[in-house]
Chains A and B, each alone.
Chain A
Amino acid sequence: MIRWQTRQKVVKGALGGVTLLFLAYQWFPMLTMAVLSFTGPNGGTTFPMQDVSLHWYRELLRVQMVDDFKPPMLRSLLLALACSVTTAALSLAAAQAMRARFRGNGAFFYLILLGVMAPGLLVGFGVAVVARILGLPLAWYTTTFAVHIVWTLPFGFLTMLAAFNRFDRRLEEAALTLRANRWTTFWRITFPLVLPGVIGAGLFGFTLSYDEFARSFFSTGSEMTLPLVIFAQFDRQLQPTLYAIGTATTVISLTTVAVFAILFRLVRLRTRAAVSAETQ
């Protein structure tokens, strides 16, 4: 007769094993790619690695490569920046609007959430079709930008909704009784306190746009974003340069997240310190 406590422990162990195996499963490919990117000049695209060097990274920066990767990377970064700011602004406005429960806000909510449900393929295709019909040219700073926002806005929106949910309405009411009008109240009281949410929305805007591939696929013209260039390169031939750029761009993505996260924490800590200082 097995003790029931032992049985529970076995279950826990099994589930833990599955989780850890999955973690490895998820991380291994990326780590492998990162490791392989340091292979020597004669190294192929798989193991065993010949030498360890920064050869392929240097290849990235060579003149020939510069044409291939540098402009697209710049475009991706600019696009991501634009998406970041736009997402933050639109999310803030949309979430603030939601607080008033205006007529049709249920439909509005679902309209925005539609952006998550709609797959990138279809959205990109749709915009391409419209552009074709209207005779508009496709470009990364117009059509692709529009499509990216459709994807990032719901995430930013939900983040802001959560931030407003945690926000204490009574602080605004207190400000109003102290002779502040709504505009001032918003910028001096509400905004600083939901700033972490705004930063979060901006983060989504940036990383989701920078990494985005499927949505850009149809909607970008001849001047491509980085993921598209990577894909095109990949179609032609698989070289360790691809691993190098893949690793490099992943590092950029993760660093951005880390920076935003630190910013987020700093703002949160500062607001919390200020609030507790007030209430002491």
Chain B
Amino acid sequence: MNPRKRSLVSHVLALPSALWMLGALVIPTLFIVWVSFWTTRTFSLESPLGLLNYTKFFNRPTYVKLLADTVQQSLLLMAITVVLGYAIAYFVVMKVRQPALQLGLFLALVIPFWTSVLIRTIAWIPFLGVTGVINQALLFLRVVDEPVSVFLYSRTGITLAQVSFYTLLATGPVVYTLRNIPPSLPEAARSLKATPLRVFWRITVPLTLPGILIGQILVFLNVMADFATASAIGGNKHAFLGNIVILLYDSGQLPFASVIAVLLMLCMLGGVAALLKVVDIRRLGVP
């Protein structure tokens, strides 16, 4: 088969996937952007275009605060997961010698991901409530005299649940990059008078930086768009941008909902752009 025909075959093979992604992802996104510029309040195809809905958003302090809250929550989760995720990754890759134990730990960490996040979210309820497991434990241990209501229907509860969901996103890429460090590198550093702490900061961390960044981006994206956790655990008292989109959609205010969606997307693109500057994702796939 000559090269030209081979290239044709490749294009044909790639076409279905490309069309699917374009049709179900790219084009809807473009539509969202279009709708966000509609100046009507409700659905109307002939709507004139303008920045009306955007100004409406930024003029309402509650909405701007919502944006800030969502970003803040994402940053909080990033801060927690970067440390926690790295600690777990470091332990499993560097400190566990027996391969069977390593595999066991990996499985134990990863298996929950093969279940529904919704179920895991629901499973947190019995923990957090006033009659929940945490409170019962606290009462039992006499740490408090009365049940603490701070867990359920609160930011704290949402954060607690999100840490359990998203830490693995930070751990995974770090595990991958840690494994790619030849063992002779830390040894060489040690023979060059570096203490274990300095080996960690000067050799290990820089070499795993791509993994850290990818993990952080994944956490960022997921928390920014998370509405299920806020909805289930926060009750109706707490909302992030995602919840507002749902609210507006349900009440038929598509243009405004689209504005929020676009703002969410812009925040995310900003994060991804920052990543692509620092590491080449494609090269990570090739050992």
- Whether the complex brings A and B within 8 Å at their CB atoms is answered yes
A56 within 8 A of B: no
B127 touches A112 (CB 8 A): no
Looking at B55-63, B201-209, B217-225, the stretch in contact with chain A turns out to be B217-225
Number of contacting residues on A, CB 8 A? 91
A150 touches B105 (CB 8 A): no
With a CB–CB cut-off of 8 A, which chain A residues contact B285?
A: 158, 161-162, 165
Which 7 A-B pairs give the minimum distances between C-beta atoms?
Answer: A126-B28, A119-B225, A211-B116, A29-B123, A97-B13, A15-B91, A97-B14
- A199-B228 Cα distance, complex, nearest whole Å: 30
Nearest CB on A from B177, distance (A): 16
Nearest CB on B from A9, distance (A): 10
* Interface residues in chain B, defined as those with a beta carbon under 8 Å from any beta carbon in chain A: 1, 6-7, 9-11, 13-14, 16-18, 20-29, 31-32, 35, 43, 45, 84, 87-88, 90-92, 95, 105, 108-109, 111-112, 114-120, 122-127, 129, 131-133, 136, 163-164, 167, 196, 221-222, 224-225, 227-228, 232, 242, 245-246, 249, 254, 257-258, 261, 264-265, 268, 272, 281-282, 285-286
With a CB–CB cut-off of 8 A, which chain A residues contact B129?
A: 46
Main SS class of interface, B:
helix
A90 within 8 A of B: yes
**A242 touches which one: B88, B122, B124, B246 (CB < 8 A)?**
B122
- A32-B128 Cα distance, complex, nearest whole Å: 12
Nearest CB on B from A125, distance (A): 6
With a CB–CB cut-off of 8 A, which chain A residues contact B119?
A: 30, 33, 211, 227, 230, 246, 249-250
Nearest B residue (CB) for A233:
B122
Nearest CB on A from B24, distance (A): 4
A125, A130, A231, A234: which has the most chain B beta carbons within 10 Å?
A: A125
Interface residues of A in 240-262 (CB under 8 A from B): 242-243, 246, 249-250, 253-254, 257
- A108-B16 Cα distance, complex, nearest whole Å: 11
**B164 touches which one: A11, A29, A125, A246 (CB < 8 A)?**
A29
**B281 touches which one: A96, A113, A130, A227 (CB < 8 A)?**
A113
With a CB–CB cut-off of 8 A, which chain A residues contact B23?
A: 146
With a CB–CB cut-off of 8 A, which chain B residues contact A42?
A: none
B133 touches A32 (CB 8 A): yes
Looking at A20-28, A57-65, A190-198, A266-274, the stretch in contact with chain B turns out to be A20-28
A26-42 vs B: 1/0 string, CB under 8 Å?
11111011001000000
